[in-house]
Amino acid sequence: MPKIVNHEERKALIAKSTWNVIARDGLEGASVRSIAKEANLSLGAVRHYFNTQEELLEFAMGLVEEQVTERIMEHTKQPQPPKQLVLNMLMEFIPIGNRTIEMQVWLEYISYKLRKKELREDSVHQGMLSMMTQLNENGLLRKDINMEEETIHLHALVDGLALHILMGLVKLDENRIRLLIERELDRIFT
């Protein structure tokens, strides 16, 4: 008999307001009050959905990983040559347009989990490993390469590129970045 409010949607809305606050004022500026203001909600309203600030921040930051993963998986629904598929998936890491805020929050997330010492696993890296394994099992990769090394190499390159683009060091347009990564894929694909 309550006022009908979709719980999950509302939580996501608050989370995305949290992203904006974090991107603007950092984690130290992400007070419950400032987040409520950004979301156009009262302090009590926000607290109704999240019992503590920590719970809110972890939900908001965790949602980034979830959203990125989901977006990457979308590509598998569209039939395309394996190399193009991989390339399209990897391009999802590159912060362009809206995704800039996403990566800013992700950076804060890394720092946050690092000092909480809760950073031993990473679903994205796991996904990268299983993707490479699958490519290998399908005979799409060269036989003379060290799988572990190449996975590390590829992931490092993509994340490093993403970081430098975010920092504004690299001014290449989307297409040249694509070529840069494709060249790396050519090194390991048959």
- Per-position DSSP letters for 121-186, written without gaps between them: --HHHHHHHHHHHHHHHTT-B-TTS-HHHHHHHHHHHHHHHHHHHHHT-----HHHHHHHHHHHHH
Residue 53 in the binding site for DNA (CB under 7 A): yes
Residues 6/27, Cβ–Cβ less than 8 Å: no
CB of 24 to a copy of itself, least distance (A): 6
Residue 8 in the binding site for DNA (CB under 7 A): no
- Interface residue with DNA among 15, 22, 23, 41 (CB under 7 A) is 41
**Secondary structure of 41-80 in the HEC alphabet?**
CCHHHHHHHCCCHHHHHHHHHHHHHHHHHHHHHHHHHCCC
C-beta of 49 vs 106, nearer to a copy of itself? 106
Q: How far apart are CA 125 and CA 151, in angstroms?
A: 9
- Residue 47 binds which of a copy of itself, DNA, none (CB < 5-8 A, kind-dependent): DNA
Q: Rounded to 5 degrees, what are φ and ψ at 189?
A: -75, 150
Residue 62 in the binding site for a copy of itself (CB under 8 A): no
C-beta atoms surrounding 31 within 10 Å = 13
- Interface residue with a copy of itself among 5, 66, 74, 160 (CB under 8 A) is 160
- Residue 167 binds which of DNA, a copy of itself, none (CB < 5-8 A, kind-dependent): a copy of itself
CB of 2 to DNA, least distance (A): 2
CB of 47 to DNA, least distance (A): 6
Q: How far apart are CA 26 and CA 168, in angstroms?
A: 18
Give the binding site for a copy of itself (CB under 8 A). 23-28, 104, 107-108, 110-112, 114-115, 119-120, 122, 125, 149, 152-153, 155-161, 163-164, 166-170, 172, 180
Give the binding site for DNA (CB under 7 A). 1-5, 7, 10, 29-34, 41-45, 47-48, 51-54
